[in-house]
Amino acid sequence: MPDDLLPSWRDTDTRSAIESFVASVTTGAHPVPVEERVAVFDNDGTLWIEKPMPTQLLYVVEQWRARLRADPSLAQEQPYTAVASGDMSWIAASVDKHYAGDDSDLRTLIGALVGVTENTSVDGYAASAAEFYRKGHHPLLDRPFAQTVYRPMVELLRYLEANGFTCYIVSAAERDFMRPIAEDYYGVPPERVVGSAYGLTYDEASGEVRYGGSLDFFDDGPEKPARIWSRIGRRPLFAAGNANGDMPMLDFTRNHGAGFALLVHHDDDTGRGDVPYDKGAERALAEADARGYTAVSVKDDWSEVFPSAS
């Protein structure tokens, strides 16, 4: 094994806690069998940047703009009003309200999200998402999406894998939107991506699987442990998240102290590109010590935030 698989992690208590835990379950007095070494990672805000807006919403806004061009009357209702005006604050606020326990606007947002893919084949959607990733730039950082992943977290994926862990993505983001890039960006194959999902139907005439007109489930909060169990069939040994909606997954992993729960805190005000914010993570941060979470300071624990331009 290379001497240092975590080169972007500073020599802090956080790194020491991660390494000590991994050593205890791999080479300690009571090692955990390899097949039980499961790690789960949230995506937005944990593996890559989510502010000022999650990447999937950036993609969807492009689709909504196309709909507005075809039917300008849509501008009379949200979220098309926000898109038509260029003021995306309503969209961002709906996500923040969800993390505060108010889903009144989120239901409107999800309805419009479902409309983007309705009756689209899964292959067509995957191709569209892949093209968006390939051509798109993050509006805040002005860099390709591939360079908006958190370099230390990708290193952590490799470090865990080198120690016999199988890593999964478990996100509130839509599963099939993440799958086209999960392997390229994170080294996680599509079958290990767990996320929110639109309903699916099979069209026998065309031989295509297509999206229906509803959301099958929203993979956030208490839904995350349920989806982890239904998809993986094991309680994770390691989990990483960054928001209130990740707390049930982190608690499920802790399992009365047995697992390791990592909470990414976006506190970097040094101008390296990651926007500092606590909104949507207030409860997780406030209760981290009591619940046994290990908090990651982006500012203090990471020497680098994003990959260098190639």
Q: Is residue 274 part of a domain?
A: yes
Instruction: Note the pTM of the prediction, 2 decimals.
Output: 0.92
Could you report how far apart the first and last alpha carbons of the chain are, in Å?
Answer: 25
DSSP structural state of residue 32: P
Quote the tokens at residue 63: 């689709």
pLDDT at residue 3, rounded to an integer:
64
Q: Find, among 83, 277, 16, the residue nearest to 6 by Cα.
A: 16
In contact, 88 and 61? CB cutoff 8 Å: yes
For the chain, the helix, strand and coil percentages under 3-state DSSP, each to the nearest 5: 45, 20, 35
Q: Which of 10-24, 80-94, 229-243 shows the lowest per-residue confidence on average (mean pLDDT)?
A: 80-94
Quote the tokens at residue 260: 């390791």
Same domain for 167 and 123:
no
pLDDT at 2 over 60: no
pLDDT at residue 197, rounded to an integer:
95
Q: What are phi and psi for residue 47, nearest 5 degrees?
A: -100, -25
Determine the Cα–Cα distance for residues 92 and 308; give it in Å rounded to an integer.
28
pLDDT at residue 1, rounded to an integer:
46
Is residue 264 helix, strand or coil? strand
Q: Is residue 8 part of a domain?
A: no
In contact, 274 and 49? CB cutoff 8 Å: yes
Same domain for 271 and 201:
yes
Q: Is residue 262 part of a domain?
A: yes
pLDDT at 25 over 80: yes
pLDDT at residue 160, rounded to an integer:
98
Determine the Cα–Cα distance for residues 207 and 204; give it in Å rounded to an integer.
5
Binning pLDDT at 50, 70 and 90, where does residue 18 land? very high
Angle at 4 between CA 154 and CA 259, to 5 degrees: 60
Is residue 261 helix, strand or coil? strand
pLDDT at 196 over 90: yes
Q: Is residue 97 part of a domain?
A: yes
Mean pLDDT of the chain: 93
Half-sphere exposure for 21 (CA within 13 Å, toward CB): 24
Select from 100, 135, 170 the last residue of a domain.
135
Q: What percent of the chain has pLDDT over 70?
A: 99
Domain encompassing residue 102: 55-135
pLDDT at residue 95, rounded to an integer:
75
ω into 52 cis (within 30 of 0): yes
Same domain for 194 and 178:
yes
CATH number of the domain at 169, please.
3.40.50.1000
- For 249-266, what is each residue's pLDDT tens digit? 999 999 878 899 999 999
In contact, 184 and 146? CB cutoff 8 Å: yes
Q: Is residue 30 part of a domain?
A: yes
Q: Which of 11-15, 138-142, 177-181, 204-208 shows the lowest per-residue confidence on average (mean pLDDT)?
A: 138-142
In contact, 258 and 269? CB cutoff 8 Å: no
Same domain for 215 and 101:
no
Same domain for 74 and 35:
no
Total domains in the fold of the chain: 2
DSSP structural state of residue 47: T
- For 202-259, what is each residue's pLDDT tens digit? 999 999 999 999 999 999 999 999 999 999 999 999 999 999 999 999 999 998 788 9
Q: Is residue 60 part of a domain?
A: yes
- For 56-69, what is each residue's pLDDT tens digit? 888 888 889 998 99
Complete DSSP assignment for 79-134:
THHHHHHT-THHHHHHHHHHHTT--HHHHHHHHHHHHHHTT-BHHHHHHHHHHHHH
Same domain for 156 and 214:
yes
pLDDT at 92 over 80: no
Q: Is residue 140 part of a domain?
A: no
Same domain for 238 and 159:
yes
How much is the average pLDDT of 177-187? 95
Same domain for 193 and 45:
yes
Same domain for 293 and 172:
yes
Q: Is residue 20 part of a domain?
A: yes
| Enclosing H/E stretch for 269 | none
